[in-house]
Amino acid sequence: MARSKRTGVTSSDDSGYVHDPADFDDEPAGPGDESANEEWLENPAHPETADREFGKRGWVLVGVIVYAFIISPLAIMFWPMDVSYRFALLILPLVPAVLLAVTAVWATTRA
């Protein structure tokens, strides 16, 4: 069996691993290594070129936020006494929470 003379591990004593960075400097870059793809360093994208307009998704998110933080709490507060509080205290807060979560994910993803 051929043994590699470079192990990348040096040990001045037997207490454990000691990293020597000089052993790893001349190794080729892997596919996930940042130094392999340096195109973004030469020609970076300017932040103003990104699609960052508020648009329809932003207004839908604002509407859901208003519903979740203003309309739904008012509905819970003014819920009629003769109707079950279980519905008022469990379901009414759950609907805007789920709606807000789904809308926030939808509004922040770009196709």
| Model confidence pLDDT, tens digit, residues 12-52 | 556 677 777 777 766 555 555 555 567 767 777 776 776 66
Report yes or no on 69 lying in a domain: yes
Residues 46-89: tens digit of each pLDDT: 767 766 678 888 899 999 999 999 998 888 888 777 777 777 77
Number of domains in the chain: 1
Report yes or no on 84 lying in a domain: yes
Question: What does the buried/exposed string (b/e) look like for 31-48 if buried means 16 or more CB atoms within 10 Å of the residue's CB?
Answer: eeeeeeeeeeeeeeeeee
Report yes or no on 83 lying in a domain: yes
Instruction: Give the pLDDT confidence score for residue 99 in this predicted structure.
Output: 95
8 A C-beta contact, residue 33 and residue 92: no
Q: Residue 60's Cα: distance from chain center in Å?
A: 21
pTM metric for this prediction: 0.52
Range of the domain at 72: 53-108
Report yes or no on 14 lying in a domain: no
8 A C-beta contact, residue 88 and residue 104: no
Give dist(CA 67, CA 56) in Å, integer. 17
Report yes or no on 91 lying in a domain: yes
